[in-house]
Structure 1
Amino acid sequence: MKKQLLFAAALMGAAAALAQTPPAVGDRDTPGAAPVLATYARPEAPLTPEYPPAALRQELQGQVMVKLRVLASGAAADVQIRTSSGHALLDEAALAYLRRARFVPARDRSGLAVDSLVVVPIRFVLED
């Protein structure tokens, strides 16, 4: 029986699959207000983290919800588990991968790249 990895919600570069915090009310001219977003952050390329070999051997599966800040530079920051898969191996693999991932940043109404918060679902699923 051959097992393979299936990324059910692997965010194939589609912004629709990336759960974002809703745009905040405010603009650049209001001190302390978050910018109104014209576009959301999205991955630069399809997200395809490696299935940890030990998790494959144990046939572990689950979904990790990871909260992170996409910086205006496109880098990920403040990467943390929002909802665990229930397996430390899968959680750590998702965190490590997303720390290295690159994103197209969100943009405000004037077209400037801005920081934004996103929640990324990573599903580790074995399929026969």
Structure 2
Amino acid sequence: MISGSPPRYPVESRRRKEQGTVELTLVLGLDGKVETISVAHSSGFARLDQAALDAVRRWRWAPTLRDGSPVKVRGTVEIPFVLSNV
């Protein structure tokens, strides 16, 4: 990954003490940008799932090269949402 900020913990989720891990499936294009993204495994909370989607959608990776040419790549990303003061 060459750029990307972590997702923001939704304020309402903090208030409700919602925690969980979101697993996202994505396809990176030839330029290293996210082409498609979806929730493979929900945290159990729509707000957390959406926060993860919104953040990872903006992340950028260096293009993956095969035999010197850029290729599309499918992968998964896990985003944990954990509160320290529960």
In the other structure, the counterpart of 1:123 is 80
Contiguous gaps of at least 5 residues in structure 2? none
In the other structure, the counterpart of 1:80 is 38
- For CA contacts below 8 A with separation 6 or more, give which structure has more relative contact order: 2
Equivalence map 1:23-102=2 (5 Å): 43-45=1-3, 47-102=5-60
In the other structure, the counterpart of 2:61 is 103
TM-score normalised to the size of structure 2? 0.90
SS of structure 1 residue aligned to 2:3: coil
Shift of 1:78: 1.3
Aligned residues: 85
Question: What value does the CA root-mean-square deviation take over the aligned residues?
Answer: 1.3
CA contact (8 A) 2:4 2:60 kept: no
Q: Distance in 2 between matches of 1:100 and 1:46?
A: 7
SS of structure 1 residue aligned to 2:83: strand
- The Cα offsets for residues 83-105 of structure 1, whole Å up to 9 and x where unpaired, read as 00000000011111111111112
Shift of 1:112: 1.5
Higher-Rg member (1/2): 1
Contiguous gaps of at least 5 residues in structure 1? 1-42
SS of structure 2 residue aligned to 1:50: coil
